Amino acid sequence: MRMKTRLISSDPEILGGTPVFFGTRVPVKNLTDCLEAGHSIDDFLEDFPSVSRAQVIEFLEEARAQLTAFVA
């Protein structure tokens, strides 16, 4: 059984409560904006080295799972 890590956190003391990748001050929206603009995950990771590739992949997998469950 795989143990899930905390992926996203929101704290009023950090960026006014904006959802960020856990353990960073990087808003999750930065990833979606980057991908929407046609940039790669590697581009995002280069710009935000405090976020790990594992966090990005887990975020995308969770988003896919939630969207799939919502549509089903």
pLDDT tens, residue by residue, 38-55: 999 999 999 999 999 999
pLDDT digit string, tens, across residues 23-34: 999 999 999 999
State the pLDDT at residue 2.
41
DSSP designation for 60: H
So what's the pLDDT on residue 11? Answer: 93
57 three-class SS:
helix
Q: Name the pTM for this structure.
A: 0.85
For the domain bounded by 8-71, which CATH number is listed?
Answer: 1.10.10.10
Rg of the chain over CA atoms, in angstroms? 13
Tell me the pLDDT of the chain averaged across its residues.
91
24, containing H or E segment: none
Query: How much of the chain, in percent, has pLDDT values that exceed 90?
Result: 83
Secondary structure letter of residue 49 according to DSSP = T
Give the integer Cα–Cα distance in Å for 47 and 28.
13
Reduce the DSSP state of residue 21 to 3 states and report it. Answer: strand
